[in-house]
Structure 1
């Protein structure tokens, strides 16, 4: 995945006093196959804005993004349907990915086992704890086995056991040639990343 010259500004205030507030000022970012990259920055630095542009959920004012292969996106705030169970979410997303039914079910079983929340398969989203909801959010991003995985604060709410499982999963994806971008407010385990990039003053600066 490669992003070049990404610019984004928001308009704030009431006309005629509205002003343009630049958030991204030409950010460049590359994530190669078999690489885990961390993107860090202070609150309001534009991390989530950049992530939304990378996945196509938000249009950039300028710049280009190219992605080789299928991408999976885990947003900071889970996007789920309160009345649907975990199973029903996987079925819905599997159809959106145009996955064969058997392939979706195999992937679903594997993710339940890998992340340890199979006992909540028939539980509605509005009855899940924050940690289990985070597992569902991550599982949906992984369902179609994407070549590029984009994770925005993915382990918020995880207990220690799930946190370890998460990094085991990321390590396997790296070994299989996947590209992983992880956004975080701070990086606790720098040795788990191949590179860390700081987002400051609207630019992505290698650490």
Structure 2
């Protein structure tokens, strides 16, 4: 479904002339297969979010290659929303960006409201949502087009227990129909829910 080979990435930090290059990824590799859920773990600063941004195409690698399917759903760690727009308006914009037929976009939106339990906030502006509801919107936008590969960076931050369980129900549904999910987490508490766990350390990926 998705393959990354030999990914390298460095950042330049500090003011000139003291600027230095910090190597974050040193040949990281990852393959996602149909119908599997993979956890990506590592210490803070290990490069997990950098790796995911490269996988989704939001960041360019210094070296290596990524082979992607036609469509990827991406849930960043920090929600990328427009403060003055309502949840409905966000879904409308993303549906158009995905070039979804209006009927399909509306149906999927309603299903996500129901599945994640935030239909009552459909007309609420993003800047008036609680942290947990904002996380639901963030996840819902990634799921809207029903992509074959879903990349999630700390997706359940702020979820209550009931929403956390609903999240895993959605993940199981995707696994059952052959879709792939990659989830970043600082630590894995429900390891049995994953098919594989991959550690990112010293700039490389290692199977656990």
Per the shorter chain, which TM-score range?
over 0.9
Cα deviation, residue 182, structure 1:
0.2
| CA displacement, residues 96-130 of structure 1 (integer Å, 9 cap, x when unaligned) | 00011111000000000000000000000000000
- Please give the TM-score of this superposition, normalised by the length of structure 2: 0.99
Alignment partner of 2:164: what SS? helix
User: For residue 46 of structure 1, what is the aligned residue in structure 2?
Assistant: 47
Alignment of 1:113-132 (within 5 A): 113-132=114-133
Mapped to 1, the partners of 2:188 and 2:36 lie a distance apart of: 16
Counterpart of 1:38 in 2: which secondary structure?
strand
CA contact (8 A) 1:69 1:148 kept: no
- Note the alpha carbon deviations across 1:20-65, whole angstroms, 9 max, x for none: 1000000000111101000000000000000000011100000000
Q: How far is the alpha carbon of 1:14 from its aligned partner?
A: 1.7
Q: Cα deviations across residues 74-97 of structure 1 (Å, max 9, x unaligned)?
A: 000000000000000000000000
Answering whether residue 174 of structure 2 is matched by residue 173 of structure 1, we say: yes
Structure 1 unaligned regions, length at least 5 = none
Which position in structure 1 is the counterpart of 2:195? 194
Tell me, what secondary structure is at the counterpart of 1:136?
A: helix
Output aligned runs, 1:23-172, within 5 Å. 23-172=24-173
Gaps of 5+ in 2: none
Instruction: Spell out structure 1 runs of 4+ moving beyond 6 A.
Output: none
Aligned to 2:150, the other structure's residue is in SS state strand
Name the CA distance, whole Å, in 1 between partners of 2:72 and 2:37.
14
Given the two structures, how large is their TM-score scaled by the length of structure 1? 0.99
Could you tell me how far apart the structure 2 residues matched to 1:153 and 1:57 are?
Answer: 17
In 2, Cα distance between equivalents of 1:3 and 1:82: 34
Structure 1 counterpart of 2:5: 4
* RMSD of equivalent CA atoms: 0.5
For the residue of structure 2 that corresponds to 1:63, the secondary structure is strand
Deviation at 1:69, TM superposition (A): 3.0
Aligned residues: 207
